[in-house]
Every structure is written in C-alpha cells, then in structure tokens.
Amino acid sequence: GRGWIHETSLADWQFVLDVNLTGAFLCAKYAIPHMIKAGGGSYVVTSSIAGSVIGPGGSAASYAVSKAAVIQLARQIAVDYGPQGIRANAIQPSAVADSNLGKHASEDRATHTTPAAQLPRGKGWQPIARPGDPFKDYGSAIAFLLSDDAAFITAIALPVDGGFLAT
C-alpha cells in the first residue's frame, strides 16, 4: 500500500481497502448478530498509528486512509450496538517485531517514480525503542479490551505504540 495517490492504481487502492477495511467490516457484519443473540459482546479491530499520523508524501496513502476508516468503523459499531451490550474498540500498533513490512515496502517503492517527501516535523521518535511483540504487546491489549475488565471502555482507538504518537 505504499505510494503517492497519483501513482496508486485503482486495483492497488481497492486491494488495501479490501484487506484492511472490508475485511474488518465483514468480520463485524457476521459476528454482530451472534453478539446480539448472546446479549452482548466485544469487537476489537487492529488499526495502526498510521490511522492517526500521516506519513510523508508517497509513503502509504491507501494504508493510512484504510486504518483511519477502521477506527471509525469501530466507533460506529460502538454507537450503533452499544444499547445491545456490544462494545467496539480499535488498537493502534506501531512497528511489529518480525513483520514483512520492510520487504513489501521496498517492493512497492520500486514501482513508483516520485520521490518520497520529507515530513516537516522530522522522523517520529518512539520512547520505548523496540518494535512491539505481536503476542505480548498487541495481543495483551486486545485481550484486555475483550475482557470484562474493559466493560466500560468502548469507541476508543488505543495506541499500543511505545509512545510513538506522543512524539
């Protein structure tokens, strides 16, 4: 999903939206009736820090747009289905340990001709200087949001980002 908007093909744009947003929508669409029947439930979707912070031009327009939309999907579910006992939240991970992002990013960059823009604020700094562990960091946050300990938490986007969004 990397690339400038004017260099992104409709097929690539649609692919990223289908995976990140339509996939989350379909999960909710088919889970919500079961939650209503059960008298409630909790839906947690994975967004990204990219859902709140825009990268430099040419970095990941379709990805950022899809991850911001995922946050709004969770909020819409929370508002629409809260009266039926359903909570909905999103987590916003930063870097993920052992991800394929670097490989795919270099493949995507090879297909675009416009150089990447520089952010006026400089590169973000993450106070906890390591990538997040998919199980210990992100999985624990999801487990908490799914649990009864989070019974009064709904419609939030929880940064699980080592402090990245604070910089």
7-13 contact pairs (CB < 8 A, 24+): 7/58, 7/111, 7/112, 7/113, 7/114, 8/61, 8/62, 12/62, 13/62
Per annotation, catalytic residue among 30, 43, 63, 81: 63
CA angle 143, 93, 89 (to 5 degrees): 50
Under a CB-based contact definition with an 8 Å cutoff, are residues 31 and 44 in contact? no
Q: Is 30 a catalytic residue?
A: no
CA angle 132, 134, 140 (to 5 degrees): 95
Please give the full DSSP string across 102-126, using - where no structure is assigned. Answer: HHHHHHHHTT--SPPPPPTT-S---
Token pair of 150 as six digits? 């989070």
Active site residues: 63
